[in-house]
Amino acid sequence: MNKSNGASKKAGNGSQPQHGGKSAAKTGTAREAALDVLVRTEQDRSYSNLLLHQTLQKYGLDRADAGLATEIVYGTLQRLNTIDYFLERFVAKGMAKLQPWVRSLLRMSFYQMMYLDRIPDHAVVNEAVNLAKKKGHQGISGMVNGVLRNVIRQKDTLTIPDKLPPVERISLKHSHPEWMVKRWIRQLGEERTERICEANNMPPRVSLRANTAKLSRDELVERLREAGYEAEPSELAPAGVVVKGGGNMALTPWFAEGLFSIQDESSMLVAEAVDPRPGDKVLDCCAAPGGKTMHIAEKMDDQGEVWACDIHEHKEKLIREQAERLGLQSVRTLTSDARKLKERFAPGSFDRILLDAPCSGLGVIRRKPDMKWAKQEQELGPICEIQHELLSEVHSLLKPGGVLVYSTCTIEHNENEGMMRRFLQEHPEFELTEGGMRQIYPDEHQSDGFFIAAMRKRA
Residues comprising the binding site for S-adenosyl-L-methionine? 286-292, 310, 337, 356
Are 209 and 233 in contact by the 8 Å Cβ rule? The answer is: no
Could you give the CA distance from residue 402 to residue 449 in angstroms, rounded to a whole number? 27
Those residues with Cβ within 8 angstroms of residue 46's Cβ, 6 or more apart along the chain or in another chain: 40
Q: Which of 285, 309, 384, 409 is catalytic?
A: 409
437 by DSSP, 3-state: which?
strand
| E-state strands within 267-390 | 281-284, 305-310, 331-335, 350-356
Question: Where is the binding site, in residues?
Answer: 286-292, 310, 337, 356
99-102 CB contacts, 8 Å cutoff, 24+ apart: 99/136, 99/140, 100/39, 100/42, 100/43, 101/35, 101/39, 101/135, 101/136, 102/132, 102/136, 102/140, 102/143, 102/144
Could you give the CA distance from residue 311 to residue 340 in angstroms, rounded to a whole number? 10
Those residues with Cβ within 8 angstroms of residue 328's Cβ, 6 or more apart along the chain or in another chain: 213, 294, 297, 298, 302
Nearest in space to 43 (alpha carbons), one of 100, 83, 86, 91: 100
Q: How much is the CA Rg of the chain, to the nearest whole Å? A: 24
Instruction: Specify whether 197 is catalytic.
Output: no
Could you give the CA distance from residue 315 to residue 298 in angstroms, rounded to a whole number? 20
For 249, counting Cβ atoms within 10 Å of its Cβ (0-12 exposed, 13-18 middle, 19+ buried), the class is: buried
Those residues with Cβ within 8 angstroms of residue 242's Cβ, 6 or more apart along the chain or in another chain: 205, 206, 207, 208, 231, 232, 233, 234, 265
Alpha-carbon distances of 410 from 185, 198, 376, 380, 442, rounded to whole Å: 15, 16, 14, 11, 10
Active site residues: 409
